[in-house]
Chains A and B, each alone.
Chain A
Amino acid sequence: MLAEIFFAYFAVVIVLTSILVIASRNPVHSVLWMLLLFFHIAGLYLMLDAEFLAAIQIIIYAGAILVLFLFVVLLLNLKEEIKGRPFSRIFVIALVLAIGMAVVISSTMKLLPPGPVGQYSMDMIRATKGGNSSIIGRVMYTEFLFPFEIASTILLVAIIGAIVLAKKRLRS
């Protein structure tokens, strides 16, 4: 019962704040609504006993990526942005499309086959020392070592690319 109430709260807030993110005229407010959104997503993770993911969600998304967003948004000339029209003319078409998609997804959701059940059950995670952080670490560095390394290489490439771009601008 308690879990349902919490889930309802998180779900409603997530939907509301996501609407506010795209509906706010002021981009800084959008970013702040997004911050609230991330916190509630982290709350959902917590309900799933995925406390590691919840913490990472806040540290990485809220603490680093969103701050960079905020950085960019702060440097915009907000007075011009706010004057613009809040919704474009195709708003009605977009709304119809969105509702249609929601109907399609929700009706087909049940048809999807359930994923395979692995060895990591909730009870097993709870029994492990260190909880799911240690299990994630173990899985990441054994079963999924190769994808993990590929992901880190891609990130490294992105970092180097950013440096190259920044250096070019400095020279010119």
Chain B
Amino acid sequence: MRDKIRIASGQGFWGDLIDAPYNQVTKGEIDYLVMDYLAEVTMSILQKQKNKNPKFGYARDIPALMKRILPVCKEKNIKVITNGGGVNPIACAEAIIDSAKEIGIDNLKIGVVVGDDIKDRIDEIIETGCELNNMETGESIKIVKDELLSANVYFGAFPIVEALKQGADIVITGRTTDTGLTLAPMIYEFGWEADNYDLLSAGTIAGHILECGAQSTGGNFLGDWQSIENMAEIGFPIAEAYPNGEVVITKHENTGGKVSFETVAEQLVYEIGDPKSYITPDCIANFSTIKLEDLGNNRVKVFDIKGEKDTPTYKVSCSYSSGYSAVGTLAYSWPQALTKAKAADKILRKRLENLNLKFDEINTDFVGYNATQGPLSAEIDEDKINEIMLRIAVRSSDYASVERFGKELAPLILTGPPSVTGFAGGRPKPSEVVAYWPALIPKNLVKPEIKIYEL
């Protein structure tokens, strides 16, 4: 058994810094590269891509990235784990095999975790008595069944562990939890038992610190943000994990950013609910037990973590089509920028009303005044404001109403208040609203499977 392993985060979301994974494998020593590509809505976007082309449906940056990092990973024996397989992890693995062949790699094993996609099994699942009730509203999934775009079970670390046991150099998954990606190599390398919930929670919490990339190394840091040096070359987080569950969060030397009590603590409280009950497929981690010790030199020890047994259910993330929305903007300039923008908003709303269009909601923000802090925004001296951006968004189940809204915005330039500009992008186009449906499913109704692809 190794006495420590270094697990590096290479991506905080799909669209994060393209060079981050390459920097993680080249700028210092690591054993595992983990990359989280999936957010709640990403699965539905990927599902739409797969519907158009059965070869798509995964994070298509991955094959090009693999071409770049695989030679280094092979040389340094770095394993790669990612949930970027999306709704088509097998196609993702096949594309990686093609990429590997192109660069002359002749020895590669890819483990693919499948079984999370239950979209085609909904009827069968409902028949068992599990109606995938919405966790927020309690409603049965039957009411949105016909509009369903995707339905995926969140798997945890153990399917990845199984793939590693089968010798995978790369593990590609569909909807695996962000934290499971980091926990899996610890279970695999240190032989942690499936019922040692303190250790599983320790690895889970390390995963939570890594899952948003540089958000734990000084990015988006609201403490003394100006003290963060060299954000241009910010280093992504690395979890140095030990068999006893202690983890040191750090980053490569000679990279920007900062790892401190404050930067790690900010990430720890990010998007959590009850800290005593952070539920994953692997365990229930207790965030209130976490101890942090700032060791200096961009090293923070995370230790003494306690956890409890996992629940009998998996979380399911479903998405369904729920109407259309459109957003348009115009900029109004001094003098009286805000007064003009408010008048324009009123005029537009009156016109929409006169047209008898149907909207579920119309929302106006005045960017430069109250768009981000609403009623908490300080009052402004209008004479000192140079410009205000009027931002109007609409949502409706009626496509035609949303489309017509898009045609009513530009006319404000010649038929409304003066000092207006910023209409270069054309008419706002209706886009489909994809709504999210969280549910629970008994664990015995789904079974993760591992498929191995070899070169």
Whether chain B is bound by chain A comes out as no
Interface residue ranges, B against A (CB under 8 Å): none
